[in-house]
Chain A
């Protein structure tokens, strides 16, 4: 196959995904002329659904936006609502929300590493196939995922679409016994989490150095979950109220999901961006484990995302243990509030990156209008930019099937909600 070939690659259906999309690549004279990650899933119109709803409805409805990160949606929503009502959550509430959020990171990252990403890097067609050769690793991953779900269930009643969060805190406080049992499970798997960091560092990850801007929350003390300012490694430093002044959403013809740019350029959100910006907030024990691997952050290798996820699993487990040490249930698990009109903003760190919410309420506390900017939407432009760089480096002269497979790996590396199934690209090439 010659280097100067012209090829149109159409991936008409990204099958078996949570969302509907496709990939089109046009190669002319041996160079990528155009690349489009097309998302054609009909808009879900959640922001419209929220209009006229009260605060608790908002918290429960936004949890339905995503099956794997409902906690993130609830946390961004409740924080924005509390800013309108002037509610200051107690230290107990802030700590327990952080623990609940840790559960979501653990389960989401673990699922991605073991069942979606690792088969790519180890050359398996599926996770069950990989399990026959790596049973201990898969078992470890599933155990970690289940611990994450157990944390969510402890605070939210169930791990899918939890219902425990309310304005001001939680509807109920877990018992001492429940937290003790949870802590025992987390503690028993903490070594697994460190071993996972080491294991991901041994995966045959492509060396894919790229130039990109990392964006994440940044807290003065903690690794960011539910609190902090929005910063970039290019000097941005704003609070959530200023988001829309810097991050411009725009419609592109090939996607029903809005693209987002920062200062006119794509940017990265998610675990790699978070770790690039917040590595100095990791506990010493995790820093030591990471140093043993020889992988350093900040990193410009996009495929170090998988290592970053492992690091964040270990962090989330360590943090959950720290925050529940000497746990006592709060006699008042939520702060009472009075509804009022206003506009509130919040940004928290979903597993896939920053999740920004804005709500305007009337005097009865009902939603007049809202805006939600999820991480996968923000990463779309970066994915297209990444694909162009990564496929060019991979070698456009390679056969269509190899290009398709590498495209899949590049996209999956972002753990996108719209294209998160394994081996989802149905591939068709048109040659001139």
Chain B
């Protein structure tokens, strides 16, 4: 039996807040499922305050800029993440490096997903925010529901 961790990455303001907004909505959806743990984080490495088992699943929800249409949503595997240079500095560690660290420490890559929500540099996202959130939460809940039978309650 395993747990599913869903981490929204972002901040309280601007387009970057969408990861936190998604967590707010998912908290309602998974309120009755103690095997699904949700958290809104300022930086991805904050996940490491927790101890993960190899049977767990980890989903990140984050804003992305990839050139797709604003508000489009994708659910990436760890292997599908862009292979651009990861950012490691004294000011922080990016999501790609965080995923690499997880895998480096023997967390199974196939149990990691990244839900990316395309951001826009103009105001067009604002009008599509609800749609983007709905799409992201739908993708995430569908993924989690696949494993509903194997999720156990957390003590």
Contacts and interface: CB of A to CB of B under 8 A. Distances in A.
Interface string A151-172: 0010000111100000000000
A185 B49 CA distance: 8
A51 B148 CA distance: 56
Looking at chain A, what size class is its interface with the partner chain?
Answer: 35 or more
10 contacts: A108-B90, A112-B90, A127-B97, A128-B97, A135-B104, A146-B49, A159-B42, A160-B11, A415-B90, A416-B90
Contacts of B155: none
Interface in A90-141: 108, 111-112, 115-116, 126-132, 135, 138-139
Contacts of A146: 45-49
Contact of B42 (A116, A127, A128, A160): A160
Nearest to A112: B90
Contacts of A16: 85, 87-89
B84 to A, nearest CB: 11
A4 interface: no
A67 interface: yes
Interface of A: 16-18, 66-68, 108, 111-112, 115-116, 126-132, 135, 138-139, 142-143, 145-147, 149-150, 153, 158-161, 185, 415-417, 420-422
Contact of A160 (B43, B47, B97, B104): B43
Interface string B54-97: 00000000000000000000000000000001111111110001
Interface in B81-121: 85-93, 97, 100-101, 103-106
B12 interface: yes
Contacts, number: 97
A68 B91 contact: yes
Contacts of A158: 11-12, 42
Contacts of B97: 127-128
B89 A138 contact: no
A143 B101 CA distance: 12
Interface string B3-24: 0000000011000000000000
Contacts of B89: 16-18, 116, 420-422
A417 B90 contact: yes
A128 B92 contact: no
Contacts of B12: 158
A199 B48 CA distance: 20
A66 B47 CA distance: 22
Given A115-B88, A420-B89, 19 more contacts: A66-B91, A111-B45, A116-B88, A127-B101, A128-B97, A128-B100, A128-B101, A128-B104, A132-B104, A135-B105, A138-B104, A143-B48, A146-B45, A146-B46, A146-B47, A146-B48, A150-B46, A421-B89, A422-B89
Contact of B87 (A108, A145, A416, A421): A421
A139 B43 contact: no
Nearest to B103: A128
